[in-house]
Amino acid sequence: MKPLIIAIDGPSGAGKGTVARAVAAELGYRHVDSGAMYRAVAWKAVRGRVPLEDEAAVARVAEQSRIDVTSAHVRIDDADVTREIRTPEIDRAAAAVARLPRVRIVLVDRQRRLGAVGGIVMEGRDIGTVVFPTADVKVYLDASPDERARRRANDPAHTGGPKAVADVATLLTERDQLDRTRATSPLYAADDAVVVDTTGKSVEEVVREVMTVIKRLEPGG
């Protein structure tokens, strides 16, 4: 089978990261977390005291940075920011940066290049709608707000935030609202995406469901 492009979109805490990683491992594909690219640009802008509402300046940060996202590490220029980009400060900064059309142009272009030869599972908010509108497989993962907040509260990759699920839920809902209502590339499920509600399901169950969708594409599948 030719190497596919698999797009996995959805709100925070829907399980995209875990599922995308597992699907990529099973297929021997590259896994790319596009959100980490927005987070890395936000991290560098904050660190350089670039005002996040200065679209031209933040776009320059994106353009002039080397960003390397693998399943193990996130690097921008020579800094390993794998851990530092998962804090409440960068949650907010990344959402602000992701609203800027000029920043999106730069990062979407890089994301498309990463997928040019296929064999990729890319997760994000606009992968099936904007980055790869002709992706071979589009999955939109969702879960109830409570479950998403519970997962985020228990995710060891995210540090420094509130621990109480109710507080995490408030922050997640605010950020999702920003992602869903922004003018450029808002979060929504592509018409041809398979929507999977992951509430109450194990990672294995969701990975099976996604693999079933992918296997349907195999000759005779």
Of the candidate spans 72-80, 121-129, 147-155, 191-199, the one that interacts with ligand DC by CB under 6 A turns out to be 121-129
CA of residue 38 relative to chain centroid, distance: 9
| DSSP per-residue letters across 146-207 | HHHHHHHHT-TTS-SS--SHHHHHHHHHHHHHHHHH-SSS-----TTPEEEE-TT--HHHHH
Interface with ligand DC (CB under 6 A), residue from 20, 46, 98, 143: 98
Taking contact as CB under 6 A, which single stretch among the options 21-29, 32-40, 50-58, 162-170 is the one that binds ligand DC?
32-40
Q: Which listed residue (95, 137, 190, 207) binds ligand DC by CB under 6 A? A: 95
Q: Is 100 in the site for ligand DC (CB under 6 A)?
A: no
Q: In this chain, which stretch among 66-74, 94-102, 155-163, 202-210 interacts with ligand DC, using CB under 6 A?
A: 94-102
Q: Judged by CB under 6 A, which of 126, 132, 153, 206 binds ligand DC?
A: 126
Asked if residues 89 and 46 have their Cβ atoms less than 8 Å apart, the reply is yes
Look up tokens 């896994």; give the residue. 31
Q: H or E stretch including 74?
A: strand 74-76
Rg of the chain (C-alpha set): 17
Q: Please tell me whether residue 132 binds ligand DC under the rule CB under 6 A.
A: no
Residue 213: Cβ within 10 Å count: 16
Q: Any idea which residue has 């839920």 for tokens?
A: 169
Among 8, 15, 34, 158, binds ligand DC (CB under 6 A): 34
CB of 221 to ligand DC, least distance (A): 28
Tokens found for residue 127? 């992968």
Instruction: Identify which range of 67-75, 124-132, 137-145, 201-209 contacts ligand DC by CB under 6 A.
Output: 124-132
Decide: is 84 part of the binding site for ligand DC (CB under 6 A). Answer: no
Q: Which residues of the chain form contacts with ligand DC (CB under 6 A)?
A: 12, 34-35, 38-39, 94-95, 98, 124-127, 175, 179
